[in-house]
Structure 1
Amino acid sequence: MKWQQIPLGALQTNCYLVENPDRTCLIFDPGGEGNKLIHLLQDRKLKPIAIILTHAHFDHIGAVNVVREAYKIPVYIHKQEEKWLGDPALNGSQLFMHVEPIRANPADHIIKNEGTMKIGDFEFDVFHTPGHSPGSVSCYFAKDGFVISGDALFQGSIGRTDLPGGNHDQLLKSIHDKLLTLPEETYVLSGHGAVTTIGEEMDSNPFLNGF
C-alpha cells in the first residue's frame, strides 16, 4: 500500500491519497483545489472509493463537494462534527476574512466509535484524538506503519487549540494515550508540514516534554 501527500488550498493543508495495487484509493482531507486533485487522480489512473475527514475545519473540507460529486463516493466524519460540514461558524470558514464561507454537504457515514474500519480492501484503525477539535480522528495503518494524524500532531509541534471546541489538555492526552503508544518507527502524516515519526516527536517535540 502506498501513500502520497498533496498540499492543497490557501493554507497548504496536506491531503493524502492511500492506494492499493489495484489503483483504488482513499482520499483523506481534500482541503481545497478540487479540480487540481481530480486531475492528479486522473493522471495517475486512480479510482477513489471514499473520502475520510480527520476533522471538519474549513481547510480540510474545501474540496469535499467537488470531489465527491466527480466520483460519486461517500464521505466519513466523526459524529461530533457531522454538523460542522455545512456550518461556516463551526467549520471556521466564517472566522477568517480572506476565506469564502464553506458549506459542504452532509457526510454519508458517521464515525461513532473507535476501532477497525474496513472500506473496500482497505483496513485501518480509527482513534478518536480530540483537542484540536472535538471530533478529530487519527487513522492508523498498522501493517504499513503510518498514521494520518490530522491536526493533532505535527513535526515539532501540536495542533492549535484556540478555535471553537479546542482544548489544550485534552489534545495532549490524546497524543499521549493514542499516538505516542504506537511503534516509534511509525510515520506520522500530519495535516500540515513535513512527515515525521512517533520516535522523532517523543525525542524532540518541545510540546511533549514530560511525556
Structure 2
Amino acid sequence: MSLQYQVVPVTAFAQNCSIVWCDETMEGIVVDPGGDAQQLAALVEQLRVNVMKIVLTHGHLDHVGGTQELVQLLGQMPIVGPHQADAFWLEGMAQQCQMFGFAPVSPFLPDQWLQEEDTITFGNETLSVYHTPGHTPGHVVLFSESSRLVIVGDVLFNGSVGRTDFPQGDFNQLVTSIKTKLWPLGNDVTFLPGHGPKSTIGQERASNPFVGDDVAL
C-alpha cells in the first residue's frame, strides 16, 4: 500500500494543487483546487481516481478559487477544511478576486471545518490534520505517517516560508507552527508546498534562511 500523488500548478500564481489517492482502492482527494477546474477534472478522469472529497489548507483565493466549479464537474462531494478561523477569507471571496484580478468567485463555506487531531480518510489512507496558523489564522497541514509525506500549503517552502503580511498573518506564530508542528514530524518527511518544488523537513532545518536550526530568531 502506498499513497500516490500528482501535483498540478494552477492559476497565474502557479499554486500547487495536489491530487492524492490510495493505489489499492483508487479513492482519493483533491487538495487546494485554486483554479483551472476543467484541467483538474480531466486529469482526475485520466488518472481514474475516485475523488471522495476536496480538502482546503487555507482560505486564500489561489488555493480555493476552483473548488465550487470542480465539485460541479466531478459530482457532489464534501468540501473539507480549512480551520474555522479562515472563514473570513472564504466569505470575502469577491474582495479577494478584485484584489488579485481574478474572475469572480462566489463566497462559500466548507461542509466541515478541520481542527487539530482531526483525520481525513480515503481508501486505506489516513491523513492527520495539524492546525498551523501564521500565514493565515485557520491554516492546516495534512500528514501521512505511513508515507512520510506532509502537504503544507503556504506554511513552508523550499528555501522560504509563507508570507505574513495579509490580514491576520503573524510571523512569530508562523515560526512557532513550523517548529512545533512540522519539525517534530521528522527530518525524513517530504513536504509538498503550495508553490514551488517539494523539499524535506531535514533540508529546511539545515538550510532554510528563515527557520533553519542555525537561524537566530
State the TM-score, normalizing by the size of structure 2. Answer: 0.90
State which of 20, 27, 46 in structure 1 corresponds to 2:30.
Answer: 27
Partner amino acid for 1:93?
C
Partner amino acid for 1:13?
Q
State which of 191, 196, 204 in structure 2 corresponds to 1:201.
Answer: 204
The worse-fitting range, judged by mean Cα deviation, of 49-58 and 14-23 is 14-23
Instruction: Tell me whether 1:72 sits opposite 2:82 in the alignment.
Output: no
| CA deviation map 1:36-76 (0-9, x unaligned) | 00011111111100011000100001110111122211101
- Cα displacement (A) at 1:87: 1.6
The worse-fitting range, judged by mean Cα deviation, of 65-74 and 133-142 is 65-74
Instruction: Tell me whether 1:117 sits opposite 2:111 in the alignment.
Output: no
What's 1:18 paired with?
Answer: 20
What's 1:95 paired with?
Answer: 99
SS of residue in 1 equivalent to 2:105: coil
| CA deviation map 1:155-175 (0-9, x unaligned) | 000000011111111101100
What's 2:7 paired with?
Answer: 5
Superposition misfits of 4+ residues, deviation over 3 angstroms: none
What CA distance in whole angstroms lies between the structure 2 residues aligned with 1:130 and 1:102? Answer: 24
State which of 46, 61, 83 in structure 1 corresponds to 2:49.
Answer: 46
Structure 2 segments unaligned to the other structure (5+ residues): none
What CA distance in whole angstroms lies between the structure 2 residues aligned with 1:179 and 1:118? Answer: 18
Provide the identity percentage.
35
What's 2:110 paired with?
Answer: 107
State the TM-score, normalizing by the size of structure 1. Answer: 0.93
What CA distance in whole angstroms lies between the structure 2 residues aligned with 1:89 and 1:102? Answer: 6
What's 2:216 paired with?
Answer: 210
Say if 2:28 and 2:122, in contact at 8 Å, map to a contact too: no
SS of residue in 2 equivalent to 1:5: strand
What CA distance in whole angstroms lies between the structure 2 residues aligned with 1:166 and 1:116? Answer: 23
What's 2:158 paired with?
Answer: 155
Say if 2:118 and 2:128, in contact at 8 Å, map to a contact too: yes
Superposition CA RMSD, Å:
1.5
Say if 1:83 and 1:106, in contact at 8 Å, map to a contact too: no
Q: Report the number of matched residues.
A: 208
Partner amino acid for 2:216?
G
Alignment map for 1:176-195 (pairs within 5 Å): 176-195=179-198
Partner amino acid for 1:200?
Q
What CA distance in whole angstroms lies between the structure 2 residues aligned with 1:103 and 1:85? Answer: 9
Say if 1:31 and 1:62, in contact at 8 Å, map to a contact too: yes
What CA distance in whole angstroms lies between the structure 1 residues aligned with 2:47 and 2:91? Answer: 31
- Cα displacement (A) at 1:3: 1.2
